[in-house]
Structure formats: C-alpha cells, structure tokens
C-alpha cells in the first residue's frame, strides 16, 4: 500500500464539505460534466447532484478523470427530486441559481459559509423555470465584455472557488464532517479498488485498514475472497 497516497486520501476526506454542493440541471456535454466534477472535488464538495430525466449515464471514468470516485453523485429525474434531497441533507441550505434576472446579485456578495447548493443549467437553455422557483437567490457573474454568460463549467468553477475562499478564511475546512463509515468505504475503494470490487461481488463487508492503509483481515476472509463465487455468478450457474 502506498502510505503517502493513503495519508493524502485521509486528509482530503477530513476536509470534505457536506454542506456545499452543486446541482447540474441537464448539463449534457461530457467535457462540462468532467470539469464541474473536478472542480467540486477540488473545492472539497462531497455531494454532487445531477438532473437527468432520461436516466442517461452521467459520468464515465474516461470523462471524469476519476473525480467521481471521490464524490457522492446523485442522479435525479426531476429538479424537484434534486432539491428535496438537498434540503433533506440540510434543511438550512440556501439554494442559489445562476440566472440573469432583475433581482440577481453578484455571486461574490453571497455568504458561502452557510450551507449552500448552487444550481447550474443546461448549456443551451440555462436553468429551467421550475428550478428558478426553488432558488432562494439568483446570482450573476458580472461581465465587462460583449458576452452575457460564461461556459457552464467556468461559471461553476468561479462560484465554487469563491465559496472555498470564504470557507478557508472562516476555518470551515478544519471540521471533520464525514461519518467514519463513509470515510472507510471511500478509503477502501480508493486504495484497494480490486479487493473492493471482489467484496462487492461476493457481498462481503470491507475489512478494517491499519494506520498505513493495509488491510486487516483474518485467513477466513482471504479464503472466502479467493474461493467463493459471487452471488451473481452462483445465480447464473443455476
């Protein structure tokens, strides 16, 4: 086990912000999906939401650069479902929508130390009227040129890094917000992906990890992992 990698993953998970999230409403282009996922990971988000009415595949390893492996991604059929889950995670969340309206405010005027969810819209049509109804505030990125909007991934990056700046200043990244069980799952899957896949196939719980990230398991575990067919394979043979 690469101890340096293990310690790096632990440090990242200890700084995760479970009360900062982004919601992608029908953002379809894979390069935008990938860029936003990478930004969410880089700024410490733990949850990312995406609205996909057609239940399409959201991210692949090729397009996400592996970022999705470190995030909890939630796919929803409607914006109503997405907002319901975001409010269930934190009833105090302020929902922001990127939208050029009469009452929109500069995105830098928002207090991002509060629980925050940012909705960004589809590349062509922007945010839907229904999503705007859910928003507590509309935010804009001021423009000094001829264009009136930025690429959706660029806009998301500017907003999330402003949130990171404010949260760094407030010391919010010093909080340990993830449950130990969630951290253990992500650590195990990130540091031992092959063993993790075998455990899932054979419905075995992930064993403990020591301080260096090495697996702590008895002989029975290894024997089961080596010799027992997965439940799916057993059903297929019957």
pLDDT per position as a tens digit, 113-157: 999 999 998 877 889 999 999 999 999 999 888 777 789 999 999
Closest to 32 (Cα-Cα) out of 16, 48, 45: 48
**What is the reported pLDDT for 5?**
85
Instruction: Flag whether pLDDT at 198 surpasses 90.
Output: yes
Beta bridge partners, 51, equal 25, 76
Beta bridge partners, 216, equal 208
Contacts 24+ apart (CB under 8 A), 139-142: 139/96, 139/97, 139/98, 139/99, 139/104, 139/105, 139/106, 139/107, 139/110, 140/98, 140/99, 140/100, 140/104, 140/105, 140/106, 140/107, 141/98, 141/106, 141/107, 142/106
Q: Residues with Cβ < 8 Å from 131, sequence gap 6 or more?
A: 25, 79, 83, 97, 119, 121
For the stretch 31-86, pLDDT in tens is 898 899 999 999 999 999 999 876 555 554 444 445 667 899 999 999 999 999 99
**What is the reported pLDDT for 126?**
85
3 state SS of 92: coil
Instruction: Flag whether pLDDT at 159 surpasses 70.
Output: yes
**What is the reported pLDDT for 57?**
56
Q: Which residues are annotated as a binding site?
A: 98, 141, 150
**What is the reported pLDDT for 229?**
58
Global pTM reads 0.86
3 state SS of 125: coil
Q: Which residue has the tokens 């310690």?
A: 7
Q: Which residues are annotated as a binding site for S-adenosyl-L-methionine?
A: 98, 141, 150
Confidence of residue 183 (pLDDT cuts 50, 70, 90): very high
Level-2 CATH architecture, domain 17-174: 3-Layer(aba) Sandwich (3.40)
Q: Tell me the pLDDT of the chain averaged across its residues.
A: 88
pLDDT more than 70, % of the chain: 88
Question: Bigger pLDDT: 30 or 93?
Answer: 93
From the CB of residue 15, how many other CB atoms can be counted at a distance below 10 Å?
Answer: 18
Q: Where in the chain is the domain with CATH 3.40.1280.10?
A: 17-174
**What is the reported pLDDT for 123?**
74
Instruction: Flag whether pLDDT at 94 surpasses 50.
Output: yes
Task: Determine the Cα–Cα distance for residues 86 and 72; give it in Å rounded to an integer.
Answer: 12
Question: Counting runs of H as helices and runs of E as strands, what totals does the chain give?
Answer: 10, 9
Task: Determine the Cα–Cα distance for residues 131 and 121; give it in Å rounded to an integer.
Answer: 9
For the stretch 210-222, pLDDT in tens is 999 999 999 999 9
């Amino acid at each position: 086990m690469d101890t340096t990698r293990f310690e790096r993953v632990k440090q990242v998970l200890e700084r995760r912000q479970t009360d900062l999230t982004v919601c992608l409403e029908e953002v379809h282009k894979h390069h935008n999906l990938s860029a936003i996922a990478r930004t969410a990971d880089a700024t410490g988000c733990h949850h990312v939401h995406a609205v996909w009415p057609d239940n399409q595949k959201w991210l692949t390893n090729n397009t996400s650069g592996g970022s999705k492996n470190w995030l909890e991604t939630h796919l929803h059929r409607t914006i109503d479902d997405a907002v319901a889950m975001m409010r269930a995670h934190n009833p105090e969340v302020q929902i922001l929508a990127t939208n050029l309206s009469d009452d929109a405010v500069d995105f830098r005027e928002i207090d991002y130390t509060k629980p925050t969810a940012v909705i960004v819209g589809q590349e062509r049509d922007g945010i839907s009227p229904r999503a705007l109804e859910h928003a507590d505030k509309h935010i804009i990125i001021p423009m000094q040129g001829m264009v009136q909007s930025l690429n959706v991934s660029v806009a998301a990056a500017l907003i999330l890094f402003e949130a990171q700046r404010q949260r760094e200043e407030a010391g919010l990244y010093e909080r340990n917000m993830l449950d130990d069980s969630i951290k253990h799952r992500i650590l195990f899957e990130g540091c031992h992906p092959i063993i993790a896949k075998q455990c899932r196939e054979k419905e075995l719980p992930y064993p403990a990890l020591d301080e260096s990230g090495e697996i702590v398991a008895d002989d029975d575990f290894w024997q089961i992992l080596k010799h027992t067919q997965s439940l799916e394979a057993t059903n297929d043979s019957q």
